[in-house]
Amino acid sequence: MEVKQSEFIKSAVTPDQYVEHSSTEVAFLGRSNVGKSSLINSLTNRRKLAKVSNTPGRTRLINFFLINNLFYFVDLPGYGYAKVSKTEKASWGKFIEAYLFNRPQLSKVILLIDSRHKPSVDDVLMYEWIRHYGYEVVLVATKSDKLTKNELAKNNIIIRETLKLTKKDKLLFYSSINKSGRQELLDSIFQTENVKGKEQS
């Protein structure tokens, strides 16, 4: 399965601004600077579809992208950037929560964490929160090209322990630079029930 077509549709803040449609959404979530924009660009083979920000914390909107004229990628605001105020952090949490709470179209959340570090308190909370809402989560550890094989193996254990993953919970290592993990992630996205059903029919 491949992304053959991708198109930015709109940015939104509040639920009344979300795109109106009855197909499926796959949402991308992670700390600011985790590599979310780069990952969306590399998945879609587009250099600038999602904006790669040099100033972490700048992307505060929910961005909707139509994929293959079939379903949507939803880029949620990055959380946990240290240099913003507590009030601002709280309002970001509210954006994300409002989306997760109001979105029957959402069928899968791709949660990004940095492969080089132990997941932060925010990462752990976010993971538990999404599970609590009952969504399927695909965990992706970004920037894997920055690690040696040994470091990858070590960090795999640390991340799995910190997030209390069971054997059947998947953790995928990804690099937007050398594209490793890309096909596996696409397969997982295209396995999403509604996407699969519509693609086959």
Stretch that binds ligand GDP, among 14-22, 27-35, 102-110, 193-201 (CB under 6 A): 27-35
CB closer to ligand GDP out of 25 and 75? 75
Place of tokens 């399965």: 1
Place of tokens 């992304």: 3
If binding is defined by CB under 6 A, does position 107 make contact with ligand GDP?
A: no
Residues recorded for the chain: 201
Pick from 24, 32, 107, 192: which binds ligand GDP (CB under 6 A)?
Answer: 32
Residues numbered 77-106 forming contacts with ligand GDP, rule: CB under 6 A:
78
If binding is defined by CB under 6 A, does position 180 make contact with ligand GDP?
A: no
Pick from 53, 91, 120, 162: which binds ligand GDP (CB under 6 A)?
Answer: 53
Bridge partners of residue 183, in order along the sequence: none
Give the separation between CA 81 and CA 33, rounded to whole angstroms. 8
Stretch that binds ligand GDP, among 5-13, 128-136, 142-150, 186-194 (CB under 6 A): 142-150
Give the separation between CA 139 and CA 124, rounded to whole angstroms. 11
If binding is defined by CB under 6 A, does position 38 make contact with ligand GDP?
A: yes
Give the separation between CA 170 and CA 165, rounded to whole angstroms. 8
If binding is defined by CB under 6 A, does position 143 make contact with ligand GDP?
A: yes
| Closest approach of ligand GDP to the CB of residue 184, in Å | 14
If binding is defined by CB under 6 A, does position 119 make contact with ligand GDP?
A: no
User: Under 8 Å CB-to-CB from 102, ≥6 apart: which residues?
Assistant: 15, 18
Give the separation between CA 108 and CA 127, rounded to whole angstroms. 13
Give the separation between CA 151 and CA 116, rounded to whole angstroms. 8
| Closest approach of ligand GDP to the CB of residue 33, in Å | 4
User: Which of 119, 121, 88, 123 lies closest to 109 in space, CA to CA?
Assistant: 123
Which positions touch ligand GDP (CB under 6 A)? 30, 32-38, 52-53, 56, 78, 142-143, 145-146, 175-177
